[in-house]
Amino acid sequence: MASRRKKIIIGAIAVVVVGGVVASQARGGDRGIAVRIEEVESHDLVAIVTASGRIEPQLSVDIASDITGRIINLPVDEGDFVKRGQLLLTIDPTQFEAAMQRAEALLSAAKASELQAIVNRNQARRQLDRSLALRATDSNMVTEVELEIAQTNYDVAAAIAEAQSHQVAQSEASLREAQEQLAKTTLLAPMDGKITRLAVEEGEVALASTFSRETGLLMTVSDLSVIQVNVRVDETDVVRLTTGDSAEITIDAFPDTTFSGRVTKISQSAIRVTAGGSGDRAVDYEVEITLDNPPPGVLPDLSATAKVVTDTRLDAMSIPIIALTVREHQPISTEDMPRDTAKTEMEGVFVVLDGIAYFRPVKVGIAGEEHFEVIEGLALGDSIVAGPYQTIRDLSDSSAVRATADADDGNNGRE
């Protein structure tokens, strides 16, 4: 909060054009410096973080193709509402149908070879069994060499049968792959929604999304039942936001209407953007605000501004933002703080007593649109210097001042 207040003060100082001799240098005898004097009063304060962004659906799906082929059927147009499972696009299936037919033929051939190998294996098994039986009956009927040959024939036939079984499994996998590729020639809607982007036309060639996300994008289907605003919030303000904070949203396309919403997500990592013309970087965080009642006809990417309420104070003692300034101030000496204590910069206001403006440090809380909450340093009814800004900027402690009705922020504090 202190950092934000300092930015407000420094930012306000930056826009003031310094010119001429400061009014506080020319008091004109007992007349004093012309200032606007106000009493410390109570106000209802609302702390707001303002950020800009764009309308986005909570859920949108980019439709892309996993294969490359010519589009032969495109039954939807941009802006159409579609149902889950509805046909969106068809890619020419000719080459994929041919690939599937080849895979089916190879599978059939592999199964035939497997069957033949099984028959040969079974035949070799029977031959081996007969040789073993004869050998067991009379060793002279089957020689040792003949028995080894029968065993070898069976082992070879069994190995061939196993290899053909693996070949069938490989052919089945190739067929499934061909069937999947053929199925990918038909793209269906993944959900109910609206076609918010159509990047292709019938007759164009759809490229596989593996080449590039942008070149592979065919269309986008968005669920517009839940609408959100994605805004970027500066690092000094994002720490003040919490999930559930209420927000007021204005959409440029609906200038006469204000919409309500709530913060539903705060990014945990920063979006870094290089500031143009310098090496500095602006650090922003993405914040998601969901609209309570989105307007009919709202479209993605519409510009919007959100005002998020981060805190409120009812009947809080407060001062005008313009009155708060920064000065070097030496604390009052005490036993624990000797007189030669170094001066430090402190936030404070000029309190007016008997025509003299004294700088008094104050502690402030939240900032409303025009006032700061005062936590310490002042009391209700205290008279303070509330303008003009240039005069407050150059005013010295213990300066003589006088109230004037026309001491506005546009003059230099002198009549």
DSSP state of 398: T
Residue 43 pLDDT: 94
Q: Counting beta carbons within 10 angstroms of the beta carbon of residue 367, is it exposed (0 to 12), middle (13 to 18) or buried (19 or more)?
A: buried
Tokens 């149902």 belong to which residue?
83
Residue 208 · residue 66 · CB < 8 Å = yes
DSSP H or E run through 12 = helix 2-14
Give residue 213's pLDDT: 72
The reported pLDDT for the residue numbered 328 is 83
The residue type of 55 is I
Q: Where do the structural domains in the chain lie, given as residue ranges? A: 2-40+325-361+381-403, 50-57+224-311, 61-91+185-221, 95-181
Query: pLDDT truncated to tens, each residue of the chain (415 aa)?
Result: 545 555 554 444 443 333 333 333 433 445 789 999 999 999 999 999 999 999 999 899 999 999 999 999 999 999 999 999 999 999 999 999 999 999 999 999 999 999 999 999 999 999 999 999 988 888 788 888 989 999 999 999 999 999 999 999 999 999 999 999 999 999 999 999 999 999 999 999 998 877 667 778 999 999 988 999 999 999 889 999 999 999 999 999 998 899 999 999 999 988 865 555 455 567 899 999 999 988 888 889 999 999 999 999 999 999 999 999 999 876 655 555 555 556 688 999 999 999 999 999 999 999 888 999 999 999 999 999 998 989 999 999 999 999 886 545 544 333 3
φ, ψ dihedrals at 213, nearest 5°: -65, -40
pLDDT of residue 271: 83
Q: What are the CA-CA distances from residue 358 to residues 275, 326, 379, 392 (Å)?
A: 41, 13, 15, 12
Please state, as a whole number, how many other Cβ atoms lie within 10 Å of the Cβ of residue 208.
Answer: 15
Q: How many CB atoms lie within 10 A of CB 38?
A: 17
Going by C-beta distance under 8 Å and a sequence separation of 6 or more, which residues neighbour residue 159?
Answer: none
- Between CA 370 and CA 324 the distance in angstroms is 11
Helix spans in 184-301 (H) = 213-216, 235-238
Task: Report pLDDT for 225.
Answer: 86
The CA-based angle 276-280-285, given to 5 degrees, is 90
- Model confidence pLDDT, tens digit, residues 67-86: 999 999 999 999 999 999 99
* pLDDT on residue 344: 83
Pair of tokens at residue 31: 């007349």
**pLDDT tens, 44-71?**
999 999 999 999 998 999 999 999 999 9
Domain 61-91+185-221 has CATH 2.40.50.100: yes
> What is the pTM assigned to this prediction?
0.64
pLDDT per residue over 312-356, tens digit each? 999 999 999 999 999 987 665 555 555 555 668 899 999 999 999
Q: Which of 256, 241, 257 is nearest to 293 (CA)?
A: 257
Looking up tokens 């590039």, which residue turns up? 212
For position 215, what pLDDT does the model report? 78
Return the SS3 of 172.
helix
In this structure, whether the domain defined by 50-57+224-311 belongs to CATH 1.10.10.10 is answered with no
pLDDT at 90: 97
Largest alpha-carbon pair distance within the chain? 146
Given this model, what pLDDT does residue 20 score? 35
